[in-house]
Amino acid sequence: MIDAKEALQRLVDGNKRFVNNASIHPNRSQETKDSLVSKQTPFAVVLSCSDSRVPLEIIFDAGLGDIFVIRTAGHVLSQEVMGSIEYAVVHLGVKLIMILGHDNCGAVHSAVETYKSKTLDTISPNLKSILMEIYPAIEKVNENLEEDDFHKEAIRQNVEYQAKDLLVKDAYISKKVDSGEIMVVKANYNLKTSEVEIF
């Protein structure tokens, strides 16, 4: 199993290829498919948004068996999400966890809108549960920012908050991070440049 730094480098290198339109589309051969029938050894777990413009295997130029993917709208945490991250760490030996946000995140925009107009109670309970997970991030944004900057900062704060919340709520992951066994990195996907910017 590769360590966290190597894993991060692999993601960075893959994204560079994608940015430069030089993707090599690795690990899609019949041989790879056959080798993955009975086991998987992904090198990273990435929690990102469900947004259709952020497909992880494409933006990181990765293939089958490479990334343990968890996606929710706004990459919000839930017990199931944390359990999935733990599964990847405990049972698959993954050393790198990435929390990846992205520009123009609809979930964050909706959260900002309902937060500012105080209309959270007008939406469905399931959608509400997602937006409520983003509210603590919005509360950290300077309210004097112009609309555009406010949205941008809310997106950044949402990555910061979800990463921090993971460590607050998941004692198992937090312990492993403290001991240096695993690493949590925060990043943002730039829709214009296709680049993943590590915080």
CB of 15 to Zn ion, least distance (A): 18
Using the rule CB under 5 A, which residue among 96, 105, 138, 155 binds Zn ion?
105
CB of 102 to Zn ion, least distance (A): 6
Distance CA 70, CA 61 (A): 17
CB of 65 to Zn ion, least distance (A): 25
Q: Which stretch binds Zn ion (CB under 5 A): 6-14, 60-68, 101-109, 178-186?
A: 101-109
Q: By rule CB under 5 A, what count of residues binds Zn ion?
A: 4
Distance CA 131, CA 80 (A): 17
Distance CA 31, CA 10 (A): 21
- Judge whether 82 and 174 are in contact, CB under 8 Å: no
Residue appearing with tokens 């959260």: 111
Q: Which is nearer to Zn ion, 105 or 137 (CB)?
A: 105
Using the rule CB under 5 A, which residue among 4, 7, 49, 185 binds Zn ion?
49
Using the rule CB under 5 A, which residue among 51, 57, 133, 170 binds Zn ion?
51
**What's the sign of the alpha-carbon dihedral 166, 171, 176, 180?**
positive
CB of 74 to Zn ion, least distance (A): 6
Q: How far is CA 22 from CA 84, 112, 122, 145, 172, in A?
A: 32, 37, 46, 38, 38
Please give the residue ranges that form the binding site for Zn ion (CB under 5 A).
Answer: 49, 51, 105, 107
